[in-house]
Every structure is written in C-alpha cells, then in structure tokens.
Amino acid sequence: MRKMPSALKAFTLSLTLLASTLSYASPASMETLRLRDQHDTPIKMSANVRFVIFAHDMPGKDLVKEMLAKAGENYLTEHHVVFVADVSGMPRIIARMFAYPAMRKAPYQILIDEVGSRTGDWERQDSAVTLFRLQEFAVTGYEFIDTPEALNEAINRAAEAVTEAPQTPTEESDTETPAGE
C-alpha cells in the first residue's frame, strides 16, 4: 500500500475543514431570488429592497410577527424590507393545513421557501432571525437578532444611516410582483 505524501494529507485535511466551516453562508446577491408569497404569488426581488429579514424557525417567525404587530402593517414597505420564511423544516401536511392559512391572514407579505432550496445555506442562528443588509441586490452585511425590539432598532438605525434616496423600482414582468415596493 502506498503512503500518501504529507503535503497531500495536509491539503486534503485543509479542504475538509474548510468545507465543514462553510455549511452556511451569506448570499452574495439577492438579485436572482424568486419565491412565492403566502398568497402563492411569484415574487421577484426589487432593487430598492434594503433589508431581508430571514426566519428559519418558529421562534424567529414569532419574533417578526411580534415586531410587525407593534410597528404597523406598512412597516415593511416603508422601510424597504422583505420578510423571508424558510418552512422546509415543517412537515408539508402541517404547513399546508395550518401554517399557510395562518400566514395568509397576515397583513404583510411573507416570501416562503417551502423546500429550503433557495435559503438552505443562508446564515442562521436558532431562536433568532438573520437581518441581511442590501444595496442594489448585493448583501453588504448581516446580523442575528433575537428580540422584536432589537430587530426594529437595527432596521431603523441602518435606515437612518442611509443618506441616499432609495433606487427606483426596475421594470418587472407581468407574471412576477416585485418585493419591497
């Protein structure tokens, strides 16, 4: 049996360690994000979206729901925010029978990743949401937030720091509604 050279062993070990640390990542851009909302409307990301709130578990979804109940139903639109929920961890029958009907009652838009194919590798932390900051589709940063007050404060603080006016919406096709208008 031939022995593997030590340099090759070190390289293989390095690649293995690197791959294991990259299990979640921040998306580089949201330009290609296409999801359906709770009313089954296909949604395409708009260039004027400044924040994406990403919830992957029930405590995160409840956190957003609580924050928006206090902030008002136009909060997402006024602050150029899109709310994305990954429901792939929920059994499909439960999602269809209970979660979707409950989400349809929400007075704000929720983009849904039903199978986790679009958000499965996004940064996440249990019992928290990920707030992605964007500029013309590009993700410029993110943070984990675990209270409704901190989420509201982070969006308001970052929105106040932006001195430029929001970009005008891009032309969209007739079949997709732009998110964050």
Q: Are 137 and 27 in contact (CB under 8 A)?
A: no
By C-alpha distance, which of 75, 70, 61 is closest to 127?
A: 61
What is the reported pTM?
Answer: 0.77
pLDDT at 177: 62
pLDDT at 6: 60
Please list the pLDDT of the chain residue by residue as tens digits (181 residues).
556 566 545 444 444 433 333 445 568 789 999 999 999 999 999 999 999 999 999 999 999 999 999 998 799 999 999 999 999 999 999 999 999 999 999 999 999 999 999 999 999 999 999 999 999 999 999 999 999 999 999 999 987 776 444 443 443 444 566 666 5
| Token output for 95 | 């999602």
| Token output for 156 | 């308001």
pLDDT at 167: 47
Angle at 154 between CA 147 and CA 44, to 5 degrees: 100
Q: How many residues does the chain have?
A: 181
